[in-house]
Amino acid sequence: MLPDHIPLPPPYRIKVVEAIPFLSARERREAIAAAGYNPFHLRADQITVDLLSDSGTGATSTAQEAAAALGDESYAGARSWFRFRDEAADLTGYPHLLPVHQGRAGERILFSNLLGPGRICLSNTHFDTTHANVEMAGAEARDLPCAEAADLDSAEPFKGNIDLTTLEQTLAGPDGPRVGLVLMTITNNGLGAQPVSMANLEAAAAICRRHGIPFFLDAARFAENAWLVRQREEGYQDWTPRQIATRAFQLADGCLISLKKDGLTAIGGLIGLRDADLFERCEANLIATEGFSTYGGLAGHDLERLAQGLREVVDPAYLAARAEQTARFARMINDAGVDTVAPAGIHALYLNAGRLLPHLSPAQFPGHSLGCQLYLDGGIRSAELGSLYLGTLDAENRLVSPAPFELVRLAIPRRVYTEEHFAYVAAVLAGIAKDPERIRGYRIASAPARLRHFKVRLEPLA
């Protein structure tokens, strides 16, 4: 028997490794300057620890790679599609499934059918590309986070929830007839990786049903949400993560999933639907824009890795180890003197840059400054979630209204980094926290109108 009083290690060992570079301080200074001080423009071979995203960045397993060798690349009706479809149908319970190459392709296809000019999409929080896809469909993306989310330090277990009172009021009010969709993001990536409770999903689903509004999940991290429900919500301790995930899908009319996260693959996505008419309309769009409905932009070997990945991701031993890894990383960072959004979720930690760098105003982009410093000091790549991403700018790219918080996201790729990598990042952060005043602010040199953070270029202030 294994000891039950010590946390178990991850249920895998490393078989193939990839070298990571260590640049000199001078090389890092030159690299980030050449990138216009935007980490998105760095080359991956200039980065020592890459915490930009947990999307498509995970390690696959030997079982996934063995399955991939069996990939059937037939144009239509490939064996690999049926293997993937059966796994996804069993997990989600939806009668109609469409494969897409990644999450945002599913967003575009679904939104072009459910939204349009004058319509509104309500969410606990839209992810950035989701927000952009709602707007590109001509509609308005409106976030209704719960009040608890506003306190970054509280230990409330389900700060990813939607505000049920505002949801009800919006649907019953003058804007109600314009709402085309309610989309619940699990876990809430835009708001600190916080989970959504089953009670909140049930209540939101009931409100939507009463008002006849489609209720969908943006379920990129369905397994991680299920794990946090099992840990934190009364009544679910005897459920498997897979049972909890299936129950969540059951509550909704359909789902969008970016399988680059909890699919444990580099690429892939899924639309799940109950409504046969909506399925037909989405399928026509899919065939015209992504590929035939048995591959949707994916190769047979991708579908094979996905089918296997969907099994591995709900393994309680895997989820327990991953959650524990993130929690330990949070403790290391907090001990280094840097606050993170509490309580720790699973796929990422969110550093409170506004609190760490009070000498920088939001217009000097403290989150961005911290992100650049992580690269300058340690070759670490992160993502800003503050006024650079969410603030409003005037025509001269000066900040007019700041974001509510100045955060930096450290996303944690699945099965990729070890305890030593996290200790290294925490040590670099400790160095910053010892002398935060040395960190300069930035100003925007040029910025595109939409999805600013991907393409913006900046300059350090003197």
* CA 111/CA 132 separation, integer angstroms: 11
Site string for ligand F0G, 292-331 (x = CB under 6 A): ----------------------------------------
Distances 373 to 24, 31, 388, 429, 437 between C-alpha atoms, Å? 14, 13, 16, 9, 12
From 11-19, 98-106, 209-217, 297-305, give the range in contact with ligand F0G by CB under 6 A. Answer: 98-106
Q: Which of 113, 185, 225, 387 binds ligand F0G (CB under 6 A)?
A: 185
Q: Is 269 in the site for ligand F0G (CB under 6 A)?
A: yes
> Please, what is the angle between helix 419-434 and helix 366-378, to 10°?
120
Distances 96 to 85, 181, 243, 271 between C-alpha atoms, Å? 9, 18, 20, 8
Site string for ligand F0G, 372-411 (x = CB under 6 A): ---------------------------------------x
Q: Which amino acid is at 187?
A: T
CB 322, min distance to ligand F0G, A: 16
From 126-134, 139-147, 149-157, 315-323, give the range in contact with ligand F0G by CB under 6 A. Answer: 126-134
CB 372, min distance to ligand F0G, A: 18
Distances 217 to 92, 178, 188, 258 between C-alpha atoms, Å? 11, 19, 11, 11
CB 125, min distance to ligand F0G, A: 9
3-class SS at 75? coil
Beta strands in 274-387 (DSSP E): 348-352, 380-381, 383-385
Residue 439 contacts residue 432 (beta carbons within 8 Å): yes
Q: Is 133 in the site for ligand F0G (CB under 6 A)?
A: no
From 99-107, 151-159, 315-323, 414-422, give the range in contact with ligand F0G by CB under 6 A. Answer: 99-107
Helix (H) or strand (E) holding 387: helix 387-390
Tokens of 436: 């935060």
As a whole number of Å, the end-to-end CA separation of the chain is: 61
Q: Is 104 in the site for ligand F0G (CB under 6 A)?
A: yes
Looking at residue 162, the DSSP 8-state letter turns out to be B
CB 330, min distance to ligand F0G, A: 18
* CA 226/CA 22 separation, integer angstroms: 37
CB 94, min distance to ligand F0G, A: 18
CB 261, min distance to ligand F0G, A: 7
Query: Among residues 109 and 428, whose Cβ is nearest to ligand F0G?
Result: 109
Q: Is 222 in the site for ligand F0G (CB under 6 A)?
A: no
From 73-81, 87-95, 100-108, 311-319, give the range in contact with ligand F0G by CB under 6 A. Answer: 100-108
Tokens of 110: 């679904």
Residues 139-168 that bind ligand F0G (CB under 6 A): none
Q: Is 55 in the site for ligand F0G (CB under 6 A)?
A: yes
- Its sign, for the CA torsion 79, 80, 83, 89, is negative
Size of the site for ligand F0G (CB under 6 A): 16
From 13-21, 101-109, 318-326, 331-339, give the range in contact with ligand F0G by CB under 6 A. Answer: 101-109
* CA 211/CA 192 separation, integer angstroms: 30
List beta partners, residue 13. none
Q: Is 180 in the site for ligand F0G (CB under 6 A)?
A: no
Query: Among residues 184 and 336, whose Cβ is nearest to ligand F0G?
Result: 184
The size of the chain, in residues, is 462
* CA 391/CA 456 separation, integer angstroms: 13
Q: Is 189 in the site for ligand F0G (CB under 6 A)?
A: yes
- CA 267 from chain centre, in angstroms, equals 14
Query: Among residues 398 and 450, whose Cβ is nearest to ligand F0G?
Result: 450
Pairing of strands 179-185, 215-218: parallel
Q: Is 262 in the site for ligand F0G (CB under 6 A)?
A: no
Query: Among residues 130 and 170, whose Cβ is nearest to ligand F0G?
Result: 130
Residue 187 contacts residue 195 (beta carbons within 8 Å): yes
Q: Which of 99, 103, 214, 379 binds ligand F0G (CB under 6 A)?
A: 103
Catalytic annotation, residues: 75, 127-128, 218, 220, 261, 453
Q: Which of 50, 218, 262, 406 binds ligand F0G (CB under 6 A)?
A: 218
CB 411, min distance to ligand F0G, A: 6
Helix (H) or strand (E) holding 258: strand 254-258
Binding site for ligand F0G (CB under 6 A): 53, 55, 102-104, 127, 129-130, 185, 189, 218, 220, 258, 260, 269, 411
